[in-house]
């Protein structure tokens, strides 16, 4: 029996995608082999990877100047790559700190020798909001931000205007979940394991002219030039993760109807769940400031940790899993990524009402 | 219809493993989710990863001082990590150059600022053999070698004795294919996509006391300490690749009977194919010196490139794929990794005899 999967990531994948993965496991695309057994240089695999590349650009409406790269190592490796490529030798760069992941990105940039400084931070208020005032440096190479914050349940709705440098952003947890105007951005990356596919693949979108300005003489696997010049096949890429991501993109395009359609669904799911929280007379308390609430990760608390424990345990019994908050903050977190269906959210809301009735 | 898969990597996986993968795609281990949808911090996933860790140590007979780490980025990222961790700031290290991959490792070490020098090389003879005489530095931090050379079809049978420093080796293409005495080694790594599982996972075996000597203050995802301290879960690891690798290990242990059993099978497969080459009266010509021949990658040429083209095209029609040599050298390469069954080799040998009869 399939459960309702509210995992923060790795996260839910559409059942129709998984059914196709299962059916193709012994013989993919008429090759007589699993996708895992095919050479990454076989024409069928190269074509498949190119299709993933094109579908991402098409879904996001990216112009020709944007390149899609397939990396490994997750956002954590991007934290280092961004700094090594675009702020080498102490070059200045600005970071906006909205939580655990941007803190890590900032510290990693410093570790890599970048001249990283904070242009804004909501740390003093426990990262409960997205800042709207910034102290940008004038000579920054880039301004870094985290588009959606999985731990504290906040999300940028409008990105900084008039930043003095191009934006670089970690979109790991809201990639492909809504339409975004990428004009202020130069580079965007996303671990696949939230809205796209299995862990082990990181998508990088980068403007070619920005990439070309990047440092050279850094290790090949950390140098964006390597991925551009070799079409992400300098060495063997994570073929299976690219393949599953391709099926998810196909589902998003053809079953859902693209980004506008999924955004509408995602906004409705989040609105319903936040309404259930706000209408609970304080039994459930959202942790993020209302103007900064995430459409992807709905974080809330109950009157006591004991009730939270009971809530999680009962929910699991009713087939709703992954509702625990991030281990660094506790509480409840319902992640409502693209593949979490409306009925899962409806089931959760009913459960919450029932739970409050018994324990409120 | 399944084909006979002689791919150089990604490569064949046992059909029994793939059948289990297919069956578990919608509901892994009773979780009601695919393995790709499970949190990497869920107990079931952590237990699964620990089992993979233990099975590798058990199969290889490694003592407690050895640690198994799960990395990403393939051997190419290890080329940089080895140098950054163990030969920082120009520290001396020796490389033995036996082909494309050790050349890349050597150049990457230099790029990373290591004091890398060559202790031996078979480049002048087109990498057709494994050197047996070495000009080791006295002050090296390590001696680096590539255990099996996929491009030229050579393999170390006995490793250097009396090297003045611990050995570090790239075992990507013969990992878990034979018993190895790891006593002269301090670190060994292997991309999963030959004998172990899908691309996207790199196994690192390292002695803990050696690891502890490694450099600090390098990017987290390039620092072996990070993987040790966080049990390879500093960030989301490539869970699906670890899972499939676990099933392959289970197959190797319980269906095949372990390393001695697979080594016997591998030796027999290679012996039969090399005999077919050597008994062809020069129609098929092995490219590696006999004392350096690989059990994993059997490389050979035909009298002309035209015949090679016909050979590959006819073989494919008969359901034998992946027989093309590496794109840098051409010719024919039959990769006989663990999951390539004896009957595939028998079929290839019959085909070769038939082809020679018609074209010899």
pLDDT tens-place string over residues A159-217: 998 899 999 999 999 999 999 999 999 999 999 999 999 999 999 999 999 999 999 99
ipTM of the complex: 0.98
Residue B4 β-bridge partners: B320
Is residue B174 scored above 90 in pLDDT?
A: yes
Is residue B161 scored above 90 in pLDDT?
A: no
Give me the mean pLDDT over the B323-330 stretch: 94
Give me the pLDDT at residue A183, please. 96
Is residue B360 scored above 90 in pLDDT?
A: no
Give per-residue burial for B66-92: e unless 16+ CB within 10 Å, then b. bbbbbbbbbbbbbbbbbbbbbbbeebb
Chain B CB within 8 Å of residue A124 CB = no
Token digits for A252? 């998003």
CB-CB contact of B160 with B184 (8 Å): yes
Task: Compute the count of residue pairs across chains A and B with CB atoms less than 8 Å apart.
Answer: 218
CB-CB contact of A124 with A168 (8 Å): no
CB-CB contact of A207 with A65 (8 Å): yes
Cβ pair A235:B319 closer than 8 A: no
A134: CB partners within 8 A, 6+ apart: A94, A96, A119, A120, A143, A160, A163
Chain segment B79-121, per-residue pLDDT in tens: 999 999 999 999 999 999 999 999 999 999 999 999 999 999 9
Give me the pLDDT at residue A320, please. 98
Number of residues assigned to chain A: 360
| C-alpha closest to that of B333 among B281, B296, B306, B292 | B296
| C-alpha closest to that of A196 among A32, A339, A90 | A339
Which of B170, B174, B223, B269 is flagged as catalytic? Answer: B170
* Residues of A carrying an active site annotation: 101, 170, 194
Cβ pair B240:A2 closer than 8 A: no
Cβ pair B37:A199 closer than 8 A: no
Q: Using a CB-CB distance cutoff of 8 angstroms, which residues of chain B are in contact with residue A23?
A: 22
Strand order from edge to edge, sheet including B202-207: B66-71, B202-207, B185-191, B167-170, B143-146, B92-97, B115-121
Q: Which DSSP helix (H) or strand (E) runs through A245?
A: helix A239-250
């Amino acid at each position: 029996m399939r459960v309702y999967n509210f995992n923060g990531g790795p996260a839910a994948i559409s059942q129709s995608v998984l059914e196709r993965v299962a059916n193709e496991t012994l013989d993919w695309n008429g090759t007589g082999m699993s996708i895992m057994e095919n050479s990454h240089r076989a024409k069928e695999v190269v074509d498949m990877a190119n299709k993933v590349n094109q579908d991402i650009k098409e879904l996001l409406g990216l112009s020709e100047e944007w390149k899609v790269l397939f990396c490994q190592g997750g956002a954590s490796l991007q934290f280092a790559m961004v700094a090594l490529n675009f702020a080498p030798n102490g070059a200045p760069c600005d970071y906006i700190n909205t939580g655990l992941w941007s803190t890590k990105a900032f510290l990693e940039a410093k570790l890599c020798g970048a001249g990283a400084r904070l242009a804004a931070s909501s740390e003093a208020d426990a990262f409960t909001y997205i800042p709207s005032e910034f102290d940008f440096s004038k000579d920054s190479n880039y301004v870094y931000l985290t588009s959606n914050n999985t731990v504290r349940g906040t999300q940028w709705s409008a990105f900084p205007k008039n930043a003095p440098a191009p934006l670089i952003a970690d979109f790991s947890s809201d990639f492909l979940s809504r339409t975004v105007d990428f004009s202020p951005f130069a580079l965007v990356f996303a671990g696949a394991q939230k809205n796209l596919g299995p862990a082990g693949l990181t998508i990088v979108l980068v403007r070619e002219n920005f990439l070309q300005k990047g440092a050279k003489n850094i290790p090949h696997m950390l140098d964006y030039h390597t991925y551009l010049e070799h079409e992400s096949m300098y060495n063997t890429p994570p073929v299976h993760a690219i393949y599953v991501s391709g099926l998810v993109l196909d589902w998003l395009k053809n079953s859902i109807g693209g980004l506008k359609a999924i955004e509408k669904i995602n906004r409705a799911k989040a609105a319903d769940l936040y309404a259930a929280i706000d209408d609970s007379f304080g039994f459930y308390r959202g942790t993020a400031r209302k103007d900064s609430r995430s459409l992807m990760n709905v974080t809330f608390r109950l009157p006591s940790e004991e009730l939270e424990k009971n809530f999680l345990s009962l929910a699991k019994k009713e087939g709703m899993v992954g509702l625990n908050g991030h281990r660094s903050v506790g509480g409840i977190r319902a992640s409502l990524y693209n593949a979490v269906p409306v009925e899962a959210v409806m089931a959760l809301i009913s459960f919450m009402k029932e739970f409050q009735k018994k324990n409120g």
